[in-house]
Amino acid sequence: SAVISQKPSRDICQRGTSLTIQCQVDSQVTMMFWYRQQPGQSLTLIATANQGSEATYESGFVIDKFPISRPNLTFSTLTVSNMSPEDSSIYLCSVEAGVVRETQYFGPGTRLLVL
């Protein structure tokens, strides 16, 4: 498995501003993922971040709104840009780790409230 931390754990932001969320893992991993969980909903994949290449975004998510960096094999950031109240969600990162079959392990999440 892998131990994943996220910063900040929670934040309250004003609309129109941006927030950068950090994800740190305790071992080198190739694939990192970012998810969004809106209030009362399940998780939705935002994008996949492979070190050394541009992030791959899922349908409905664009780089201008959710820019992602992946500078090395243990770290990634997700920025939520020009926020609106609809961006209030839990944002989670995950990594793939495993021996026989890659399994995703999740961080604790960042709880974002946009006023």
Residue 112: count other Cβ atoms within 10 Å of its Cβ: 20
Contact letters for other proteins, residues 18-37 (x by CB under 8 A): -------------x------
Distance between CA atoms of residues 56 and 104, nearest Å: 17
Tell me if 96 contacts other proteins by CB under 8 A: yes
Judged by CB under 8 A, the residue of 44, 72, 82, 84 near other proteins is: 44
Judged by CB under 8 A, the residue of 83, 107, 112, 114 near other proteins is: 107
Contact letters for other proteins, residues 55-94 (x by CB under 8 A): -x-----------------------------------x-x
Task: Let me know if 55 is exposed, middle or buried by CB neighbors in 10 A (0-12, 13-18, 19+).
Answer: buried
Residue 89: count other Cβ atoms within 10 Å of its Cβ: 21
Longest dimension (CA), the chain: 45
- Establish how many alpha carbons lie within 13 A of residue 107's alpha carbon, considering only the half-sphere containing its beta carbon: 31
Min CB(20)–other proteins separation in Å:
19
For other proteins, the binding residues (CB under 8 A) are: 1, 4, 31, 42-45, 48, 56, 92, 94, 96, 101-109
